[in-house]
Every structure is written in C-alpha cells, then in structure tokens.
Structure 1
C-alpha cells in the first residue's frame, strides 16, 4: 500500500515546473516595478500563467502528471518565458 501511494505522489509532483512558475511570476512583478512591462502586458502574462496552472490542476485531478503532460506544460512555460522576455524588452512604456 505504501509503495502505491509513493508512486502516485511522485507522478503528481511537478517541482521543476512549480519552481519555474514562481520564477516567472517574479520576473513579471519585477518588470512592472521597473516599468519594463505595462499593466496591460503584465495582465496578459498573468493570464497565460493562470491558464497553465489550470491545465496543471486538470492533470492532477486526473490522477497523474505523466511525461506527456509535463512536456506540454514545459513547452508552454518556455513559450511564456520568451514572451516575458520579449515584452520586457520592447519599447512599450506605461
């Protein structure tokens, strides 16, 4: 019974994805504070993060976050990371 529980828990854990999510939230907040991101850009980026979180919740509700789900989430996080960079380095100002 204990082995089944530990296997189940290991399949639903996403520590790297969670760390990346926190890092990206910090990057968005820093961009707003420094003026690199407009409020509209920050709102759009935060919505993207919310959508990824919703997908993670759905995957966890189904019982596991397998390799395919992790790959899809990592791809979305990479895309969002590039979007954060691009929006922080464009010429838009508040």
Structure 2
C-alpha cells in the first residue's frame, strides 16, 4: 500500500507534495481523522504544517482526494482503502501453497 502512495508522488517535488505524501502515509486504515487532527498526526507532519493555515490543510486534503488516496466527509478523512486494496498482491490459498510444495 505504501508503495502505491510513493509511486503517486514519484515525480512530485516541493513542500506541498511532501506534506501530502506524509499525510497519505500517516492516515490509519479504517479510522476517520478530523481535518483539525491532520496537522498533529505525527511530529514530522506538525513540523511541515508549522506556520501554515487551515486553508493549506484543506487544499492538501482536496489534492489527496483528487488523487483518489483519501475519502472525505464532513466529519473527517480516511484512506481510500478500496483503491489501495486493489494494489495489494493476492495471497495464495493454503491449498495452493501446499500444491506448490
């Protein structure tokens, strides 16, 4: 899942891309995070948003939503798990694993 996020930002440079990547990597699966909590997810994110306004957070969340990396509601944001799951390799069933031996 992290590889997919890293790929999305592979050719992006600058402070905004760095902040957005940090946020996308720091959101907890199946947990909604309020927009006001975003800037305090990790010390690194807090440092990246230091001196910036709530509008910057909002723009970053809009960009992540447009990339399909997060889902937003009025109450908060969460990773777009359905998209990210499609990039996780499928595991072989136990029967298939035994047959391969």
Q: TM-score, normalised by structure 1?
A: 0.31
Report which of the two has the higher share of strand.
2
Q: TM-score, normalised by structure 2?
A: 0.30
